[in-house]
Every structure is written in C-alpha cells, then in structure tokens.
Structure 1
Amino acid sequence: MQPLENIRVLDLSRVYAAPAGSMMLADLGAEVIRIEHPNGSDSMRDWGPFVQEQSTYYLCANRNKKSILLDLKTTEGRERFKDLVKDADIVLENFKTGDMARMGLSYEELKKVNPRLIYCAVTGFGQTGPLAHEPGFDPVIQAMSGLMHVTGSPEGEATKVGVPIADILTSNYVVISILAALRQRDLTDQGQFIDLALLDVQMSSLANVASAYLNTGLSSQRLGNRHNNVAPYQVFQCADGPLMICVGTDGQFQKFCTMLKHEEWAKDPRFLSNTLRKQHEAELVQMIANITITKTRDEWITLLQRYKIPGGRVNTIAEAFAQPQLIARDMIGELEHEQYGTIKFIKSPLKFSNLNIQYKLAPPLLGEHTNEFQKSSLL
C-alpha cells in the first residue's frame, strides 16, 4: 500500500516547480491528473534536447501521471473541471495571480463544490504584495533574492546556479505544504488554500547568508568555491583536476594537518580556531594548495577517507552518473512507454524501511488519458 493511495490531484501546473512537486506526490501513490489545454500549454514540452520527439526537460518532472485535455476557457470545460473537483483532494496550479479567479475557478468558488479541497497556488511572488500579478521565472527569482549576488567568482559577475534551484526548492515546499494540509484535514475535515511564492521560498533558503545579514548587517559577497564562515572549505587543485575539501571543525583541522604532514599548523596561533583561520584564510589556502597539487584526486581521497575528512572530486555530469555510490544506491530507473520507448530517470531519494516507491507510468503524451476519463463519465 502506498501512503497517498486514494488521493487525487488535479494538476493544472506547467514548467517545473509545481509539476516536480506533483510528481513526488505521484511517486507516493497519489493519482495525479495533468489537465492540459488541447493546444498544449506547457512550454516545457518544447524544450530540448529530445528523445523520440519527447522533451527530456518535460520527462524529468512528469512520471507517474496521467494527462487529459480540457479547455478551461470554455463554459463546458469549466463545468467538467468542477465535476472533477467534486472527487478530488488537491488542485495544484501555477497560473498568474488572478487567472483562475477570472475563469470562475478560484478556491472560494471550488470549495463550494468540495469543502474538503486543498488548493495549492504556486506563483513567482504570491497572492499579495505589489508584484503579485507579475510573472516570475527561476532566474529572475535567483537574481531578486540575492542568490546570484553571492554565487560565482569574486572577480566575475553575479551567477545563477546551474539548475533551476528556486523551482526545485519550491517543488519540495509544494509537497510539504500539501502533506501538512492533508494531515490537518484529517483532524478538521476542512480543506484550505496554500499560497506558495518562489521569491518567499528562495529568500527562506538563504540560510546562514540571511541570518548573518539580519543579525549583524553583514552582506555576504561572492566567494567562488570558498565558504562564508568556514576555512579551509573550498576547491583545491590536484595533479589531475579539482577536489572539494571541507574542514568543518577544529578537530578535523588537526587531523587534516596530520594528513598533510604539517602537524605544526594545528598549533600555529593564526590557525587555532575557525575564526582565526578565516582571518588568515589567504595564507592558509596557499599553504594547502602548494601541497594538494602534488598528488592526484584519487590519492587525496584515499587519505581524506582514512582521516575522516569530507572531500570529493569535482565531477562532470557524466562522471557523477558513473560513481559506484550512485549505482550502489540504485538511483537510476527506467520506464517504458508504448510510443516513445524507454526513458531513464533519477529515482526518488526517499528510501523507507517499509515502503517501496513505485514507478508505474512514463510521462504522458499530451491528452494521453482523456478517453479513459471520458469512459468513466468524469469528462
């Protein structure tokens, strides 16, 4: 039995943040029905590269779902949608603020049809505030949140993260908020409206950078691969390429010095504590760099593991997928689709002692399951 069996999600969302969230719900057993415009409304289907004419971007966020066609701009489409809402648990959408209300499908209207409905709206800036009606894509959110300002080389320009991190983080909050609302519904028998904003999520994810500013006024700057608060904690060049080394405690630093055969560094007044090491970071980093360049990454990793100091190769994507650790954790899955064949995907990272995540459906074609729901008189 899956934990979200008998939970039905009507997924009106597009692109990544909300669809990735509904995919997690589907992995946990929910029936997720993508409701799409007959002409196609999800631009992610058009973003390459492609496999058998299917967007790999679309494939990464839509397994275990069904797809039906419904035009919500027509009276008939809206009435059919309301019929679906009667038996649904969750509506998930990421239209611009006010769009659903203009179609007569706001939470206030839909809860008249189903008082137990949980309605999650994902937008760039939320349902309130001066930017509520503005569009907000991931790179814009990264820029506005300050994330880009603290990402990249000190000598270079502000840089976005290499994946749509604001969308990814928001997808997690989609799941967290919906699971919390389901639990509250168990207790109260009432649904509710969830207002999720990408900017809110990204601001809350600034973590120690936010705390430093709010409590001391310190505005963090770009540090490249160095850490704002800890040293040595960065990439070092080895004989065959870059290696990330994270020395997070005074105890680890003492072991690190022993590993480098420079026990005297641990007694050096400049390096006795993390605070002092940050103050003298440039000197310390140069001393370490003069040594790391003398061995290969694998040689250093063997030593780091022996001394229990966190470290890892800076891998290419191809190298990352070839790691024995990833293979041992069985993180690559395959699904078959009768039209476009086999697709590979990253499995859910959730691993339970008494629950197996099930992967049943390949990401659907546009409207692939419309007939199934027409036969069941739901459309």
Structure 2
Amino acid sequence: MSPWQEVDGLADGPLAGVRIVDLSRLLAGPYCTMILGDLGADVIKVEKPTNGDETRFTDSMVVGESGYYLGMNRNKRGITADVRTPEGAEIVRRLATDADVLIENFRPRYLDARSLGYDELKLDNPRLVYCSITGYGTRGPLVDRPGMDILTQASCGLMAITGEDGRAPVRIGPPVADFGAAFLASIAILAALRARDVTGTGQKIDLSLMSASFALVANFAAGALNSDQEVPRLGSAHPQIVPYQAFETSDGYVAIGIINKKFWVRFCELLGCPEWANDERFRRNRDRIANREILVPFIEERIRKSTTAHWLEVLEKADIPCAPVASLREALEHEQSTANGQVMTIEHPRLGPMRCLGLPYEFTDTPGSIRLAPPDHGEHTAAVLAAIGYSPEDIARLEGSAVV
C-alpha cells in the first residue's frame, strides 16, 4: 500500500498527484512545500519526535498555537521520525521510494551522513527530484555556517541598504531571504519536474538563502557590480527613483511613486509648484536623484499640511500612484483583500474556524485549494507508517523507542 493513497484523487489543482516528502523546518522549506501543497501536491511533513518544527514554539499570537507555524504548514500531513536513528532514516527512505520530490534544509552533508542524500536515494528512485536549501551553498568558506534570515540579510547587503541614512541598518521586516528561497525553490522544483517529463529522470537542486538574497536585489546588484558606488540607505525612499517614498501627512503617511514625466508634471501642479516640472534641478529623474536633498524637503513641507485622506483623494483623482501606509491588520481587513480572496476561513481540528491567507493566484481550469489545516505534531504518523508496511506492533515499538 502507498502512503499517498489516503488522499490520491482528493486534491484538485495543477499539481494533483505530485508526492512530496518534506524534511524541512522553520521557514524557507515549509513555505515552499505549502505553496506546492496549495497547488494540489500531496505533502508529508516529517518532523523530529521531540518538539518538532522549531516554529511550533516561536510565538503565541494565536491561542494554543504558533502563528508562525500556522502560516507555513497547511495542506500537509504530519508525521514524526528521528532521522538520526537507523529506523527513522529507513522511514524516510521508504517514503522517498514512492515520492516525486524530497525537500530538505539541513546543513550540507547532514543527510548524506545518514544515507539520505540524493546519491543514495536516487538508486531506489531515479525519478526523484531532490531539493536542498542551505544558508550559503555547497562550496566556499561559509558552507558550514547556519542559515538564518537575519544572518543572510546582514551578510548579503540587504540590511546595509535598509533603514534611515545616518542610523543603524535595519532588518527588512518579513524574512525575505527565507521567502525568496521558498519562491525560487518552488520554481526550480517545477522546472525539474518538467525536465523529468522529457528525460524520465530526476535531479538534485541546490539553492541557498544567499543566492535568494542576491536575486532579490538584482536591480541594485547591477550597479554595485559595475561601478564603485554603494547603494545608499534611504528609509522608504528609492535610490533610483525620486520621489518614490512615504511622506508624512498631518495625521499619518502616504506613499507616492512618480515613475515618469507625466506623473511628475501632474504632481507638481497638485503641490502648487508647476514650475518644478521644468526646473533644471528637477525636470528629469536623474536630476531629481542628484538634487534629492533639495527636492524632498520641499515636498515634505507641502504634504505635511493636509491629511492622508485629502492627499489620497486628490492624488487618485489625478491618477497619480499613491497608497496609504496601512498596518498589516488594516490591510488584511480591507475590502480589496476580501474581494480577491486574499483572506479565507478554514476549520482547524483544535482551534475551530481559523482565518488564513488565501491562494495568491487563480487558475481558470485547475485551481488550487486549501484542504488541510496545519497538522498537529505527528498527527498522521500511524496512518502513514501503516501505509508503507509497518504493522501495529512495529509502530508501537518505534513509538516506545522514541523513533517516532
């Protein structure tokens, strides 16, 4: 019997029938497998028997559960297995034999030492796509260092360009190195599955938080690589476009983006300064960049005189790109979020009705879906082990020895 038969045929979506063994924890790997699960893949999440995924205990924003964990782990079945033991490693090998994808984010060589590396697993399943997410890749002087979002943001230049000029560097709020790695891993896995359709064989994918971080600053990296200039730290402002930042109003903040001459001319008129449009200091974007320290205070002085609602009204009427600086809760509660299905409600076995983010895309013919709430620690262990040939006595023995 296959461990996948329990849900085969129940999932819709473009990845229905794709089978994934998820050995990852924390954020990058789990978010990647959640994306694939949302698209219909059947994901079995394997956690260590003691405590499980570290994100289960990172916060208490949701009563009785970690919001961090809930946000990364829907549409998965959860089992426990201690891969440090021969018996736990054997469970993973059996799962991998019948899987399409295995994803892990241990340090390099950790799973190789337990006979769970790609070179061994592909012998029993040559169609396996094996994705490894590390902190700094598989070569080089940093290869054995732990991969964490804050460390990667610091070492890859993201913190150095985030924050206000003259003040301490700031970590970008969301863990963008982790999220970037998750998105890139999803793309790479889909590409490898497509290649397998042609060649009949799987392959190994290696990517890192470092490579993901550099991918996120591609527009800035080109300048840094081909000049001797560093990207300045400008708060909400943009180093390559002016004005393109949040401005303080009399009761809040409004974000404004002037990306072409048409918007600039209209903006100058709204501010009561039409002459700025032809002022040699401000006429072109390159001029405004060079004279940022003169122009921005002029704009700030005028924007600060009226409310956010006033500026949104007049800017929107003139079709100038703008938005209020909203809190996360305000943004999630906005009617636009509801209209696009960005917030949904699912049923959690312990928490009851639970609101969560919806799918960020729509398909006309094969839509994804939210089928399973994030699993409790080891919730599906017995069922999955039974499906891959373990008897009730075997399962009891493994539980007694803390392998599962």
TM-score range (shorter-chain normalised) is: over 0.9
Deviation at 1:134, TM superposition (A): 1.4
User: Does 1:176 pair with 2:176?
Assistant: no
- SS of residue in 1 equivalent to 2:383: helix
Distance in 2, matches of 1:254 and 1:353, equals: 40
Is the CA contact (8 Å cut-off) linking 2:14 and 2:368 kept in structure 1? no
Aligned position for 1:288: 299
Aligned-partner residue type, residue 157 of structure 2: G
Match of 2:156 in 1: 145
Change over 3 Å in CA distance of 1:355–1:299 after alignment to 2? farther
1:104 correspondence with 2:115: yes
The whole-number CA distance in structure 2 between the counterparts of 1:196 and 1:378 is 34
Q: Is the 8 A contact 1:150 1:221 kept in 2?
A: yes
* Residue in structure 2 matching 1:315, options 320, 326, 332: 326
Q: Structure 1: which 5+ residue stretches go unaligned?
A: none
1:262-273 alignment, distance < 5 Å: 262-273=273-284
Q: TM-score w.r.t. structure 2 length?
A: 0.91
Q: Supply the distance in 2 between the matched residues of 1:275 and 1:38 (Cα, whole angstroms).
A: 58
Amino acid at match of 1:71: D
Do 1:83 and 1:378's aligned partners in 2 also have CA atoms closer than 8 Å? no
Give the superposition deviation at 1:318. 2.2
Q: After superposition, what is the alpha-carbon deviation per residue over 1:46-92, rounded to whole angstroms, capped at 9, x for unaligned? A: 11124342111100000000001222222222222212111100010
Q: How far apart in 1 are the matches of 2:269 and 2:121? A: 65
Please say if residues 78 and 378 of structure 2, whose CA atoms lie closer than 8 Å, have aligned partners that are also in contact.
Answer: yes
> 2:379 — aligned with what?
368
Q: Which runs of 5+ in 2 are unaligned?
A: 1-11, 391-404
SS of equivalent to 1:34: strand
Contact 1:250 1:273 in 2 (8 A): yes
Tell me what 1:248 maps to: 259
Q: What secondary structure is seen at the aligned counterpart in 2 of 1:146?
A: coil
Cα distance in 1, alignment partners of residues 253 and 37 from structure 2: 38
The structural deviation recorded for 1:261 is 2.9
Q: TM-score, normalised on structure 1?
A: 0.97
- The letter for the 1-side match of 2:200 is D
Q: How does 1:1-379 map to 2 (within 5 A)?
A: 1-379=12-390
- Matched residue type, 1:290: E
Runs of 4+ that moved beyond 3 A: none
How many residue pairs match? The answer is 379
What amino acid sits opposite 2:168 in the alignment? E
1:321-378 Cα shifts (integer Å, max 9, x gaps): 2222212212111221222322221112112233322111000001101122133235
C-alpha contact (below 8 Å) 1:92/1:121 kept by paired residues: yes
Greater mean alpha carbon deviation, residues 107-116 or residues 124-133: 124-133
CA distance in 2, matches of 1:84, 1:321: 38
Identity within the alignment, %: 38
For residues 119 and 191 of structure 2, what CA distance do their matches in structure 1 show? Answer: 20
Residue 20 of structure 1 and its aligned partner are, at CA, apart by 0.2
